């Protein structure tokens, strides 16, 4: 439902075809795919309902960086989570408006009121909406060109999102009965990553685990992360970060140790695994 190319039904069928016993669905910042995935669950496959939350952390040097937090088996109706989703929706609309107003002020053929009127009333408003307005205005020919020139982090009108501070997200997931795992903490190819002492702080704040076996971690990185996790008594998970046709990694390329999986499930009380 976010940035993969398989539908939730296709995802669970692909997991079963690959011979997996368990698969987690972790769309970015939404649980909208849970119901379809449960409905399509092949017999013998277990589904872990989760999400990958976009958060902000310090890198260890005081600078804010973007981090991803995997949340498993939480109750999506927990009041703090619902309120935070509402805050993010409002904030994302305001951010788009600020970007559009700046463009118009610079003389670009963008009408901020029209852009705002084109946004879904209740759904997620994002930069792709503004990118399509730029395409329609003839300023760029594709959405990706709009991101490169104007809207991406290197673009001239980029504004940072006010994502959830990661420690607050960890607390919210705990309150919702879920388990929080830091996603691909040291995927250096994706940009700045958190230092060891930040992971120590997050462990103190209630983080349950770190994703170690991930396609963006080389063997040396996995070894160092596993050592740090052992010192902090954090669970170490593995996942392929499968995105369908959007990434080359096949489903089931990385897996979580069954014993770690059992410990993770035992910590959760927001939702239970669903067996097909």
The contact set with Zn ion (CB under 5 A) reads 68, 183
CA distances from 47 to 26, 114, 137, 276 (A): 11, 41, 44, 8
Shortest distance (Å) from residue 209 CB to Zn ion: 15
Shortest distance (Å) from residue 150 CB to Zn ion: 24
* Minimum CB distance to Zn ion smaller for 102 or for 222: 222
- φ, ψ at 64 (rounded to 5°): -70, 135
Longest dimension (CA), the chain: 59
* Minimum CB distance to Zn ion smaller for 103 or for 183: 183
* Minimum CB distance to Zn ion smaller for 125 or for 183: 183
* Minimum CB distance to Zn ion smaller for 68 or for 129: 68
Shortest distance (Å) from residue 183 CB to Zn ion: 4
* Minimum CB distance to Zn ion smaller for 68 or for 127: 68
Shortest distance (Å) from residue 184 CB to Zn ion: 6
Shortest distance (Å) from residue 246 CB to Zn ion: 12
Residue at shortest CB range from Zn ion: 68
Give 104-112 contacts, CB < 8 A, sequence gap 24+.
108/134, 108/137, 108/139, 109/137, 109/138, 109/139, 110/134, 110/137, 110/139
* Minimum CB distance to Zn ion smaller for 26 or for 46: 26
Name the residue among 58, 56, 75 with its Cα closest to residue 66: 56
CA distances from 102 to 11, 157, 161, 163 (A): 40, 7, 16, 21
Identify the three-state secondary structure at position 119.
coil
Q: Alpha-carbon distance 11 to 200, whole Å?
A: 34
Shortest distance (Å) from residue 187 CB to Zn ion: 8
């Amino acid at each position: 439902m976010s940035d993969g190319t398989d539908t939730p039904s296709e995802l669970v069928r692909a997991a079963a075809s690959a011979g997996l016993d368990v698969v987690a669905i972790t769309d970015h910042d939404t649980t909208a795919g849970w119901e379809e995935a449960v409905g399509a669950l092949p017999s013998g496959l277990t589904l872990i309902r989760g999400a990958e939350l976009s958060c902000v952390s310090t890198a260890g040097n005081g600078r804010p960086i973007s981090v991803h937090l995997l949340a498993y088996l939480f109750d999506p109706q927990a009041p703090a989570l619902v309120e935070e989703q509402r805050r993010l929706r409002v904030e994302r609309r305001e951010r788009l408006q600020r970007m559009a107003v700046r463009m118009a002020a610079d003389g670009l053929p963008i009408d901020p009121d029209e852009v705002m009127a084109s946004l879904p009333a209740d759904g997620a408003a994002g930069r792709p909406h503004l990118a399509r307005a730029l395409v329609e205005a003839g300023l760029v020919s594709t959405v990706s060109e709009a991101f490169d020139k104007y809207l991406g982090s290197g673009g001239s009108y980029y504004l940072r999102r006010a994502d959830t501070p990661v420690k607050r997200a960890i607390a919210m997931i705990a309150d919702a009965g879920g388990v929080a795992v830091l996603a691909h903490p040291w995927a250096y190819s994706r940009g700045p990553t958190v230092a060891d002492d930040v992971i120590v702080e997050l462990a103190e704040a209630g983080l349950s685990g770190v994703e170690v076996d991930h396609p963006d971690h080389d063997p040396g990185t996995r070894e160092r992360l596993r050592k740090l996790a052992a010192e902090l008594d954090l669970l170490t998970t593995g996942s392929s970060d499968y995105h369908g046709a959007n990434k080359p990694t096949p489903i089931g390329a990385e897996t979580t140790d069954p014993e770690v999986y059992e410990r993770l499930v035992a910590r959760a009380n927001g939702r239970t695994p669903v067996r097909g």
